Amino acid sequence: MAGSSDSQQALFAAIFKLMRPLVRILLRNGVPYGAFTDIAKRAYVDVALNEFGVSGKKQTKSRISTITGLSRKEIQRVLQIEDTDNRDMVVRYNRAARVVYGWVHDATYHTETGELAELAFESKSENETGGGVSFSSLVKHYSGDVPPRAILDELLQVGVAERVDGMIRLLAPAYIPKTGAAEKLALLGQDVSGLIDTMDRNIHGVDQPRFQRKVFYDNLSDEAAEQTHKMLSQKGQALLQEFDQWMASKDRDVNPDAGGEGRRAIGVGLYFFEEDVDDSSESP
């Protein structure tokens, strides 16, 4: 990195810092360095191919080679690597999240006292007339033509719902996988890429930067850290539920009457982080 500009040095330092937790996940899941380099090369080629072309000209392997530093032979090899996209898993996540949203917010699926109802997979009247309140009707209303059994299996697998005496009970007010490493790792790709994409947009000084804020203090006690996490869990969940209701009212899958032009995927996220501070590294 000798001779690098200040911005490059800052970028390299940032990459090293963000790579540490990623490498920890890779090693924990048995992913060796060689496999990671293939994925990194594929990402380089994919971005160069789709985002760094010359206007009006077809992107070529020669230009991709110039941009990425990879040989044309290596580019061809990388393009033949099996697709690593987890789009199907993300779609399942979004479908399941809509079903959980409907269960939590639609009074049709609540008891007379306003509690979340335990649902039969199908109601007797549903079998006979096509009507009735059940898990199947919930899925049909909030997730379209996805088989109800597939959604149920998803919710059961990740620990968001359970079956009790033939009825289906919701265990959490949001789709947050409690089990199932694949589902959690799919969220890693979706959520972290969204944050980095927002930061990339803001770093390059676009006219309308995206919202990106945080608060940080480095001399709090263990007790204060626990209290802060508890406060975020309470107030953050309430804020996200408010956004959930607002965005669902504008989503044309949930609300076909929402209207509007174009199609965008929009997300809002909150997260808590903490780390130990080495007092010996500070001056007295």
Task: Quote the CA–CA distance of 234 and 240 in Å, as a whole number.
Answer: 10
CA angle 151, 152, 155 (to 5 degrees): 85
- Over residues 100-148, the pLDDT tens digits come to 988 988 899 999 999 999 999 987 654 444 457 899 999 988 887 788 9
The pLDDT assigned to 70 comes to 93
pLDDT tens for each residue of 89-109: 556 667 888 899 889 888 999
Residue 253 has pLDDT above 60, yes or no: yes
pLDDT digits (tens, 9 = 90+) for 147-169: 899 899 988 887 889 999 989 99
pLDDT at 283: 43
| Over residues 169-189, mean pLDDT | 74
At 130 the pLDDT is 46
pLDDT > 90 in the chain, percent: 28
Confidence at residue 82, expressed as pLDDT on a 0 to 100 scale: 63
- pLDDT tier at 180, thresholds 50, 70, 90: low
d(CA 6, CA 156): 50
